[in-house]
Amino acid sequence: MKLCLIASGTLLSLVFLAGCKLTRAGYESAGYQVVRRSGSFEIRDYPALTLVSTPMTATQPTDDNSFLRLFRYIGGANEAEAKIAMTTPVFSDQGGTNRQMSFVIPKKVAATGAPKAKRDDISVQTRAAGRFAVYRFSGSSGVERAASARGRLTDWIAAEKLQPIDEPVMANYDPPFTPVFLRRNEVMVRVKEDPIER
């Protein structure tokens, strides 16, 4: 019985340690500066980011085909046949007609120029620097929860008298096998960069 308990404890420890290596902590993440924070809401300034993007054609916010196309690109399916490290977050448009999913290109790769994709439905582009209103939430980012998060952010933006100037974007930070309760999700909207008086 004692041996079984020791073995079980060892197995759980190994699973825990393995999980730690398979979380967002092991990835480079897009940097930003927090201008102001209010609970789960933040106003952030982001630098220009180099993104590799592909259209989202499914009706669901999470489009596996889009993700796999981008994953193959960073895995070497590009003109340089270069392997590129995965980063966080994965961005996905939440509105508009030309919805896209995007990976952030690592800083070092972006500095030397990201390789062109072999496919016509994958493009390397720059997201301009700017100010964003952000709502952060944990758990699932399924259709209903994403819609609820967008609603909360919209209400907060209105209450703060901010001016949105683009469609909302979802940002997911975790691999799909991360336990739901540990996941970090965000919905963000670019806003006009008026001075913030507080």
Q: Domain spans of the chain?
A: 26-191
Q: What percent of the chain has pLDDT over 70?
A: 82
Strands 28-29 and 49-55: unpaired
| pLDDT at position 42 over 60 | yes
Residues whose CB falls within 8 Å of the CB of residue 55, separated by 6 or more in sequence, listed in order = 66, 98, 99, 100, 121
Choose the most confident range, by mean pLDDT, from 17-21, 62-66, 115-119, 191-195: 115-119
Query: Rounded CA gap, 33 and 14, in Å?
Result: 36
CA-to-CA dists, residue 13 to 6, 8, 132, angstroms: 10, 9, 39
- For residue 160, give every residue at least 6 positions away whose Cβ sits within 8 Å of its Cβ, in sequence order, or none: 133
pLDDT value for 28: 96
Q: What is the pTM of this model?
A: 0.83
Residue range 26-191 in CATH 3.40.640.10:
no
pLDDT tens digit sequence for 6-31: 443 433 333 333 434 455 667 999 99
In the predicted model, what is the mean pLDDT of residues 100-120? 96
